Amino acid sequence: MADFDLHETTTPEGIMTTDAPDTNGITDATETINTTDLAADDFSFGQRYHRATDTSDVYVTRQRRPTESIVGTRECPICAETREAFEFPKLSVTLSCSHPPGVCLECLRTSIRCDFNSKLWTEIRCPECREVLEYADIQKYADEATFARYESLALRAAMAEAENFIWCPANCGSGQLHDTGADQPIVTCLNCSQRSCFTHNVDWHERLTCKEYDALLRDPENYLMRLDANGDEAERAKRAQENADRIIAQSLMAEQEAEAQLKEERERDEREEKQQAIALARKVASRRKEEEQKSRATMSKTTKACPGCGWAIEKNRGW
């Protein structure tokens, strides 16, 4: 594929960029370029192309640096320092960028870190055109510490969208799936054992069901007065909830014990089968060895070596 400068006033016929008008002046062979020939090549500083569905034009979707800027030195427009070419990105910072990369890698890392610390984690942008950076772009260009924090937030956001998933409100950093959802709202953290409410995502409201807790939030003062008057009923509700929790825990424990016992039996059967196979192999080998010894003994008694070739021969008739 021929090299050309995107900042010149001419581009291959049928190819459009966002910063240069479409002009003629390239040989007709360029018109036959297909999407396979125009595929991006990170190792040869290639550009990304796609052909528009309603025209025959080819649009550049990821710019590369002009050929003359691949080697030598360039000046970063942000820090104004002259740096080697390898200190700059090879391709545009993100697929949405419509310009060749101009900022150096160090300034790009700094920009990502500043955006992450001062904005929403989903608002990290290219320092040149302010296009939003995707996960892969930040993974590629951010420093290790910034990406680790970014990845943690991305993971939390993704997991929070899962049905019946809840993060521990005690901020222990753990989350889990609660299959029963709001039907059995008490969640016990697998990491810190803190009990929380699935419905309200707060520490478990002792002595109160979720419906009673909603009533408390609506009218705290009056509800507390009614709660004191109906303490026995709340206590019964608490005991019922605890009994339900205990039954669930016992059921889970029984299932785990059954699975462990089944696994142990399966492993024991596998060990016995292996031992039987080894014993059988040893028995067969011993029998073969015994037969070979008997055969050699018989040969030593009934044969002698041929004086010509040395093979064992046996006299079966004659003198």
CA dihedral (40, 124, 18, 85) in degrees, to 10, reads -60
Tell me which of 225 and 279 has the higher pLDDT.
Answer: 279
Contact 181, 204 (CB under 8 A): no
Whether 107 shows a pLDDT value over 90: the answer reads yes
Q: Which domain, by its residues, includes 197?
A: 165-265
Q: How far apart are CA 94 and CA 87, in angstroms?
A: 17
* pTM, 2 dp: 0.39
Cα 124 to Cα 133: distance, rounded to the nearest angstrom: 6
Q: Which of 141, 62, 57 is nearest to 98 (CA)?
A: 62
Residues 274-279, mean pLDDT to the nearest whole number? 91
Torsion of CA 25, 28, 34, 35, to 10 degrees: 0
- For 37, which DSSP code? T
Residue 182 lies in a domain: yes
Report the domain count for the chain. Answer: 1
In a domain, 54, yes or no: no
42: its two tokens: 């990170």
Residue 22 lies in a domain: no
229 assigned to some structural domain? yes
> Is 208 part of any domain?
yes
- State how far Cα 247 lies from the chain centre: 37
User: Which amino acid would we find at residue 39?
Assistant: A
- Residue 66 backbone phi and psi in degrees, to 5: -60, 155
Whether residue 252 is predicted with pLDDT greater than 50 in this model: the reply is: yes
Banded model confidence at residue 235, pLDDT cuts 50, 70, 90: confident
Mean pLDDT of the chain: 76
Tens of pLDDT, residue by residue over 170-209, are 888 788 888 888 888 899 998 898 999 988 888 998 878 8
Residues in Cβ contact with 307 at an 8 Å cutoff, skipping those fewer than 6 apart:
none
Is residue 171 assigned to a domain? yes
Task: Tell me if 176 is assigned to some domain.
Answer: yes
pLDDT tens-digit readout, 18-71 = 444 343 333 333 333 333 333 334 333 344 444 445 555 544 555 555 555 566
What six digits make up the tokens of 14? 């049928």
Predicted confidence band of residue 315 (pLDDT cuts 50, 70, 90) = low
- pLDDT 10s digits, 128-168: 899 999 999 999 999 999 999 999 888 888 877 777 888 88
Does any domain span residue 25? no
Q: Give the confidence band of 212 by pLDDT, cuts at 50, 70, 90.
A: confident
